[in-house]
Amino acid sequence: MNTRNIVYRSIFIAALLSSCFTFAQTKNQRPPSPLIVQPNGQLVYTPDALGNRIPDFSYAGYMAGEKMIPTVSIKVVVPVASGDATLRIQSALDYVGTLPLDKNGFRGVVLLQKGTYKVDGQLKIDKSGVVLRGSGVTQTFLIGTGTDRQTLVRVAGLSNKILSTGAPITDAYVPVNANKFSVASTNSFKEGDHVIVHHPSTLK
């Protein structure tokens, strides 16, 4: 065997061993965790190859979770009584809805005492700044005793939104929990606008 063949065989064996080592290393390498909890309690989300992340609902709370919930003053206390409490609670909600807003945007609290309130109908909060509060996590109970399927407590505002001309999203793929995307034109938007992202529900 000449020197050239020995060199070629050595290169081939080295390449084969390198490939095997790389395969073993890749096989044993664990994918990064999609969620990491840091020592200070902060959550760090790791996206996958497409940019998808675990949905983050931390911004769904009061003031996006960046401010403490203020103490709202109690305006009406609804005492516990036997029978249907729908009218009594709703009357209190309607009354607080007529009060002026404070500096934090609240009108006041309708407080339910410790005990069980039976609601045959539906409670509706249709004014902003109205708070319906119980007297403890396991102390106040609202029991729906009606025979229909309507929502027990409905929170609804005025349908006063004004829609302008929209703009199609130009990204071919928008990852889960994305906080930005590209649009064809920004002419119909200005800073401070509330934006509706419309995602049609299709069969595919």
In sign, the C-alpha dihedral spanning 105, 108, 112, 117 is negative
Q: Which residues contact 122 (CB under 8 A, 6 or more apart)?
A: 86, 146, 150, 151, 152, 153, 154
Residue 202 has which token pair? 């299709």
Q: How confident is the model at residue 10 (pLDDT cuts 50, 70, 90)?
A: very low
Sign (positive or negative) of CA dihedral 59, 124, 96, 192: positive
CA angle (191, 197, 198) in 5-degree steps: 145
> Residue 137 burial (CB < 10 Å; 0-12/13-18/19+)?
exposed
Using alpha carbons, select from 62, 63, 43 the residue that is nearest to residue 53: 43
Q: Percentage of the chain surpassing pLDDT 90? A: 49
Residue 17 has a pLDDT of: 45
Handedness of CA 160, 164, 168, 170 (dihedral sign): negative
Count of CB atoms within 10 A of residue 89's CB? 21
DSSP-derived pairing of the beta strands 108-112 and 130-133? parallel
Q: How many CB atoms lie within 10 A of CB 92?
A: 22
Q: What is the mean pLDDT of the chain?
A: 84
The domain limits of the chain are 1-30, 73-155
Q: Which residue has the tokens 């002419």?
A: 187
pLDDT tens track for 78-90:
999 999 999 999 9
Dump pLDDT digits (tens) for 95-150: 999 999 999 899 999 999 999 999 999 999 999 999 999 998 889 999 999 988 88
Predicted pLDDT of residue 190: 87
Q: What residues contact 198, with CB distance under 8 A and at least 6 apart?
A: 166
pTM of the model as a whole: 0.63
